Structure 1
Amino acid sequence: MTAERLTDALREVEAAEHEGRPPAAGRTSNVVTALVVLALGVAALLGSLALGPGSPADPDTGTWPLLVSAVLIVLGVALLAVVRRTHDAERFSRAGWLVLAAVATMVAFVAVLEVIGFEIPAALLTFVWLRFLGHEGWRTSIVTSVGVVVAFYVVFVGLLSVPIPHLF
């Protein structure tokens, strides 16, 4: 890195700190982000093909995941194409860990959904997101978690008869 580029980078970090925002991510971070999006898209594409995508006239289980994975792949390629011109991405910070925690709890939710139904995992997921990620109060987190599960149960199980795993 040349001295001029280093000076510009330091000025950018100082300006960002002065404005109260995180400093911008570098080119490497942008490339890694684009590659992660691309890898998720490819993994989702393979999963959707394993489910069976069907056809436009007769969609199957993998149709929607196929469409989402195609969008992810296009977005990943687009991010790679503009990586040199991207300057508004933020450097990984504490907020990034919160996002990773949210994704991890969602993965745990999906993992236990088939085993114990949606009621307990949904209540726990909502509670964790509200209390620990959103810093809401205990009472608000508990009441809202129970309310969300009841509402989802009434709408999806009671009214729409959606075949999701449930306890009651």
Structure 2
Amino acid sequence: MSEAALREELAEDRPPHAGPWSQLGAAVVAAVVGIAGVIGSLALGLGRLTQPGPGLWPFVVCVVVTVLSIILALVGRHGTDTEQFSRSSVQTAVAVLTLVVFASVLPLIGFEIPSLLLTFVWLRFLGKESWVSSVAISVGTVVAFYVLFVLLLQIPLPRLI
């Protein structure tokens, strides 16, 4: 099969191009999230480079997101790599929703159960993995995080025990 034929076949599987307004909309949404993150990280305190505060690295990441969003708004409208919202877009919305739920219950019940459920849902329902591998990988991931962050690094994560 020639390279051109392969590209054409792959292009048939993609949803239609969303257009320049979608690019602009995505840039605006990302910029709003970046600016909100900058404000939130400033509230946490930046500290100094020699003694960083809790908001320093979130501040740096959010500034980068904001700058890249502005660049996308200015030059990205000519791109053709955006896709119209389709049934498969729901997966992204579900992933974001599960992260919001994860973040909201984490301080209440610890990281073990929410991490286990989040990993399982992502593997089984979003990634279409088998039940056995979803359970095994989810349990293994939580155990590895527990050993690494709680036992070895002694990071004070919210925990059940």
Same fold (TM over 0.5): yes
Q: Check if 1:39 corresponds to 2:32.
A: yes
Are the structure 2 counterparts of residues 159 and 26 from structure 1 closer, same or farther at C-alpha, using a change threshold of 3 Å? same
1:64 to 57, 64, 85: 57
Whose relative contact order is higher, 1 or 2, with alpha carbons under 8 Å and at least 6 apart?
2
* CA root-mean-square deviation: 1.6
Could you tell me how far 1:18 is from its partner in structure 2? 6.3
Could you tell me how far 1:84 is from its partner in structure 2? 3.2
Could you tell me how far 1:55 is from its partner in structure 2? 2.2
Could you tell me how far 1:23 is from its partner in structure 2? 1.2
Residues in 2 aligned to 1:84 and 1:127: alpha-carbon distance in whole angstroms = 37
Q: Please state whether the residue corresponding to 1:28 is helix, strand or coil.
A: helix
Residues in 1 aligned to 2:50 and 2:11: alpha-carbon distance in whole angstroms = 56
Could you tell me how far 1:97 is from its partner in structure 2? 1.2
Give ranges in structure 1 of 5+ residues lacking alignment.
1-14
2:131 to 138, 141, 146: 138
Residues in 2 aligned to 1:34 and 1:154: alpha-carbon distance in whole angstroms = 39
Residues in 2 aligned to 1:18 and 1:128: alpha-carbon distance in whole angstroms = 29
2:92 to 82, 92, 99: 99
Instruction: State the match for 1:25 in structure 2.
Output: 18
Q: How many residues align?
A: 154
Query: Is contact 1:37-1:73 (8 Å) kept?
Result: yes
Give ranges in structure 2 of 5+ residues lacking alignment.
1-7
Provide the identity percentage.
50
Instruction: State the match for 2:114 in structure 1.
Output: 121
2:157 to 142, 164, 167: 164
Residues in 1 aligned to 2:149 and 2:70: alpha-carbon distance in whole angstroms = 36
Query: Is contact 1:113-1:121 (8 Å) kept?
Result: yes
Instruction: State the match for 2:146 in structure 1.
Output: 153
* Matched AA of 1:83: G
* Matched AA of 2:81: D
Residues in 2 aligned to 1:84 and 1:38: alpha-carbon distance in whole angstroms = 15
Q: 1:87-143, CA deviations, whole angstroms, 9 ceiling, x for partnerless residues?
A: 222222223211111111011111111110000000000111011111112121112
Are the structure 2 counterparts of residues 165 and 25 from structure 1 closer, same or farther at C-alpha, using a change threshold of 3 Å? same
Indicate the larger mover: 18-27 or 71-80.
18-27
Are the structure 2 counterparts of residues 33 and 16 from structure 1 closer, same or farther at C-alpha, using a change threshold of 3 Å? farther
TM-score, normalised to structure 1, is: 0.86
Residues in 2 aligned to 1:143 and 1:125: alpha-carbon distance in whole angstroms = 13
Query: Is contact 1:42-1:69 (8 Å) kept?
Result: yes
